[in-house]
Amino acid sequence: MNLTNISQAKVFGGWHKQYTHSSSDLNCDMRFAIFLPPNATKESPVPVMYWLSGLTCTDENFMQKAGAFRKAAELGIAIVTPDTSPRGDDVPDDPEQAYDFGLGAGFYLNATQKPWDQHYQMYSYVVDELPKLIEAHFPVTTKRAISGHSMGGHGALTIGLKHPELFCSISAFSPIVNPMTCPWGQKAFSHYLGSDRATWADYDSVELLKKQSAIQPILIDQGGSDHFSEEQLQPEKLIAAAEQTGHVIELRMQAGYDHSYYFIQSFIDDHLAFHAAHLFPSSEED
């Protein structure tokens, strides 16, 4: 596989690096970033937290704004951030260039409708192609956790719930939990998946939770002053579904916080420590 390093910087004793590669799932060139903590070596590989970003973002937003490197270096966790959608001149975009659909808004699903189906296969990319690439080229183990923000929180929840054998823990900031019932999700799903709402349920955390006999540990932080919460995010629906099915999800409502990376910066250390407890099950976090 053609893997090209396009940037790198040393940080907290580890390395932040960006790469491009040709993706067979997405039929275009893709970019991702990886943070490798200082203890990551071929002889001593480390586990990985996959981070999925939200609408309009790229691989850079989390890496540049979240302030996650110090804690990840301390814990010995690698972080991988893919882009949020396929990119390129041949990749179709929303004809009106809206921020909530098309480029930057892949919704971490496999599109079935033309013209989106040729490139918009982010679900397969995150579940299969990207982890295989990471594990083939970097000093990491097959132990994985998954996290994300907003649209990426939706991706982390749906992918994690569907693949407990791949991801030992799930966390999210301000996730879209019930996209079948919110404007962002309805717009994306109707274009990517078509009019059959039965197919939408496969990418809806509330609907997936109802079918699960068991779930991994899940931590969610939601800002109390997030203006997207009521219409788009609806975290109470996920908790209601969990209560109905007997599942336990930790939802922390954080008073005064909004939807921004200031919110993520404030609690990212908690999320990394949460994942470390499951990535290193024999260790105890302070």
Strand ranges, E, within the chain: 3-11, 14-23, 28-36, 46-52, 78-82, 140-149, 170-173, 218-223, 250-254
CA distance from start to end of the chain = 41
258 CB-near residues (< 8 Å, 6+ apart):
223, 225, 226, 227
Choosing from 154, 204, 226, 247, the catalytic residue is: 226
Amino acid type, 223: G
221 CB-near residues (< 8 Å, 6+ apart):
171, 172, 173, 174, 252, 254, 263, 267, 270, 271
> Phi/psi class of residue 12: alpha, beta or left (left: φ > 0; alpha: ψ in -120 to 50)?
left
Q: For this structure, is 117 an active site residue?
A: no
The number of angstroms, rounded, from the C-alpha of 182 to the middle of its chain's C-alpha atoms is: 19
75 CB-near residues (< 8 Å, 6+ apart):
37, 272, 273, 276, 280
Choosing from 119, 247, 259, 271, the catalytic residue is: 259
Question: How would you class 10 by CB atoms within 10 Å of its CB: exposed for 0-12, middle for 13-18, buried for 19 or more?
Answer: exposed
Beta carbons of 131 and 121 less than 8 angstroms apart = no
- DSSP-derived pairing of the beta strands 170-173 and 218-223: parallel
Q: For this structure, is 169 an active site residue?
A: no
Q: What is the DSSP letter of 233?
A: I
Query: What are the tokens at 280?
Result: 């290193």
Q: For this structure, is 89 an active site residue?
A: no
Q: In what order do the strands lie in the sheet with 218-223?
A: 3-11, 14-23, 28-36, 78-82, 46-52, 140-149, 170-173, 218-223, 250-254
Choosing from 150, 171, 205, 229, the catalytic residue is: 150
Q: Active-site residues: which are they?
A: 150, 226, 259
